[in-house]
Amino acid sequence: MIIAAARQIADGERIFVGMRLPITAYGVARLTHAPNAVGLFESGVARYEPADGMLYTMCDGPNQLGAAWTTGLIQIMGLLSGGRVHAGFIGGAEVDKFGNINTSYIGDIDNPKVKLPGSGGAPDIAAMAERLVIIINHQKHRLVEKVDFITSPGFLDGGDARKKAGLPGGGPAMLITDRATLQPYGPDNEFHLASIHPGHTLEEVVGNTGWDLKSMPNVTETPPPTEAEMDALHHIDKEGFWRS
Amino acid sequence: MPFAATHELIRQGRRGLNMIAPISDISTDMLIGAGCVTEVTGAWVGNVSGGMGHNYRRAAEHGTPHPIKINDYSNFAIGMAFFAGAYGLPYVPLKSILGSDILKSNKNIKLDTDPFSGEPVALVPALKPDVAFLVVQRADRFGNSHIWGSTGLTQEASIAANKIIVLADEIVEPEVIASDPSRVLIPGFGVDAVCHVPAACHPAPLIGKWQRDNQFFHDYHKETREPADFDRWCDEWVRDLPDHTAYRAKLGGQLEELRILGDAPSAPANYATE
């Protein structure tokens, strides 16, 4: 999952990193194929080198020591709004077949079954980044036909709905789970199966998806991590937090 | 995060507050549990280390201890709403929340058409808080304040607010602040009160001063699962303590372990004129 995410970062790109898994992916990308990538954090931090040491939030000291820029939220998110960010990573409680993400309400807005913590900067990233990479655990209740609440827009109702809504960013380019990768395909921009991670099966992936998951023409096995990628991961994730 | 102010609002039994912040650690969750809050205006309320905030969930899902009105924003949208409030703009036209159901849940935000391009745009009205509580590394007795590290919305929120209350980790002579005016984020002429409160940020970090008390966030998550649990937690850590000095004393060695003792100073900037 981390390695697949790292491969979505191209060299020299400005990336909205976010916390937890994507920050590790960013570190792996920097140490392998993308040594000139720039990491952006919405609290007001830009970094070249990933922080040394475990981060619980992007405001923690290690993320600020040696940063490229410590500034305000508006300055960093303004890079997004100004169309200067190549890609962003987002997770969520639910994602649907058009890549819309819910981190706000399960059930009805006025009488929610579960009130989730909310959006943070995710809608801004989803709306404005050139492309969006979604990372989520592959479970039927997480990959759903339709989300209860669109916190962060994907392709909305599919087709050209996103464009009609006036969203400047390109929208979700890939959905990475712990079992597979999915990509928007066809005129509807519905997410299709693109590759299956080593050790997982088509039946298992389809069975754990909450919509009728179709396959792209050439579904492949996700290329396994290279030695260089695993070395980078060991270097970044010294405590083995993401490998357990 | 000005947790010392959070505690004091709870101790004073304040009611009917609208808490406005993009992301509020567990501060807003505490105030909701203590019954101080009727409205939440923000982008994210929870526990940065533990996930969900139990009090926020209880209030939103069951109206316990009482119902709250939630005004959803994205981070950039609330930031720009403060920006508008700070600089006298009635509203800001944004593209970055288009397509989000925040446009449906937050009735204050209007979907409109950009008169220049004819494209959709979201109009977000200015936010002007009554009071802004701000933690700074150092201030002088007039409230002139130095902050370093990432600053979130500190500057926009302070200029937008009608009153500014500064919680300074350290009080220094005015000459210290004046030696580096580029590092002043909040000038004293707008400040209503400056309070010397070391570790006012605890359990959140403050660059160069205090590390995050991650265990405290986890403990809070575990110890506030039920309303009665939260009441016990709140008595122990807030209501039964007279002030922040007593809070620091209660933390004792736990707080001392978080004190940053290392040295990583920036290079001096020369302001000489000749």
CB pairs under 8 A between A and B: 177
More confident residue, A53 or A223: A223
pLDDT of residue A98: 98
Tens-digit pLDDT profile for residues B190-199: 999 999 999 9
Does the distance separating the beta carbons of B56 and A127 come in below 8 Å?
A: no
B28 reaches A (C-beta below 8 A): no
CB contact under 8 A, B150 and A45: yes
- Region A34-41 average pLDDT: 96
- What DSSP element (H or E) covers A163? helix A161-164
Closest CA in chain B for residue A71? B150
Q: What integer pLDDT is reported at residue A113 of this predicted model?
A: 95
Q: Can you give the pLDDT at residue A244?
A: 45
- The mean per-residue pLDDT over the stretch B96-116 comes to 97
The pLDDT confidence band at residue A54, using thresholds 50, 70 and 90, is low
Question: What pLDDT was estimated at residue A236?
Answer: 83
Chain B: closest CA distance from residue A3 (Å): 24
Query: Which positions 119-138 of A are in contact with B (Cβ < 8 Å)?
Result: 119-124, 126-128
**pLDDT tens-digit readout, A132-178:** 999 999 999 999 999 999 999 999 999 999 999 999 999 999 999 99
pLDDT at res. B18: 97
B270 pLDDT above the threshold of 70:
yes
- B51 in A contact zone (CB under 8 Å): yes
Q: Across the interface, which of B95, B102, B119 has its CB nearest the CB of A119?
A: B102
- Is the pLDDT score of B186 beyond 90? yes
Q: Taking a contact as any Cβ pair under 8 Å apart, which residues of chain A between 178 and 207 contact chain B?
A: none
Backbone angles phi, psi at A40, to 5 degrees: -115, 140
Which tens digit of pLDDT belongs to each residue from A201-243? 999 999 999 999 999 999 999 999 999 999 999 988 777 765 5
pLDDT beyond 80 at B188: yes
ipTM associated with this complex: 0.95
SS3 B76: helix
Residue A53 pLDDT > 80? no
Q: How far apart, in whole angstroms, are the C-alpha atoms of residue A187 and residue A161? A: 11
Q: Which of A59, A67, A124 sits opposite B74 (nearest CB)?
A: A124
* Contacts (Cβ under 8 Å, ≥6 apart) of A234: none
Sign of CA dihedral B39, B45, B46, B51: positive
Give chain B positions within 8 Å (CB) of A104. Answer: 72, 101-102, 105
- Which chain A residues in 20-59 lie under 8 Å from chain B, judged by CB atoms? 41-45, 56-59
Q: pLDDT digits over B215-233, tens only?
A: 999 999 999 999 999 999 9
Per-residue pLDDT band for B24 (boundaries 50, 70, 90) equals confident
Residues of chain A with pLDDT > 90, as a percent, come to: 83
Please indicate if any CB of chain B lies within 8 Å of the CB of A80. Answer: yes
**Residue A126 parent element (H or E):** helix A122-128
Contacts of A64 in chain B (CB under 8 A): 149-150, 207
Span B45-63, average pLDDT: 91
Give the chain B residue whose CA is nearest to the CA of A57.
B48
Closest-CA distance, B144 to chain A, in angstroms, reads: 19
The answer to whether B43 contacts A118, with C-beta atoms less than 8 Å apart, is yes
- Residue B168: which pLDDT band, with cuts at 50, 70 and 90? very high
The band of A92, judged by pLDDT with boundaries at 50, 70 and 90, is confident
Share of chain B above pLDDT 70, in %: 100
SS3 of chain B: the string is CCHHHHHHHHHCCCCCEEEEEEECCCHHHHHHHCCCEEEEEEEECCECCCECCHHHHHHHHHCCCCCCEEEECCHHHHHHHHHHHHHCCCEEEECCCCCCCHHHHCCCCEEEECCCCCCEEEEEECCCCCEEEEEEEEECCCCCEECCCCCECHHHHHHHCCEEEEEEEEECCHHHHHCCHHHEEECHHHCCEEEECCCCCCCCCECCCECCCHHHHHHHHHHCCCHHHHHHHHHHHHHCCCCHHHHHHHHCHHHHCCECCCCCCCCCCCCCCC
Is B239 part of the contact surface with chain A (CB cutoff 8 Å)?
no
Measured in residues, chain B has a length of 274
Q: Do B121 and A71 touch (CB under 8 A)?
A: no
**Mean pLDDT score of chain B, rounded to an integer?**
97
Tell me which residue has tokens 């997480």. A142
* Chain B hits for A117, Cβ within 8 Å: 44-46, 51-53, 56
Looking at residues A120-139, what average pLDDT do you find? 96
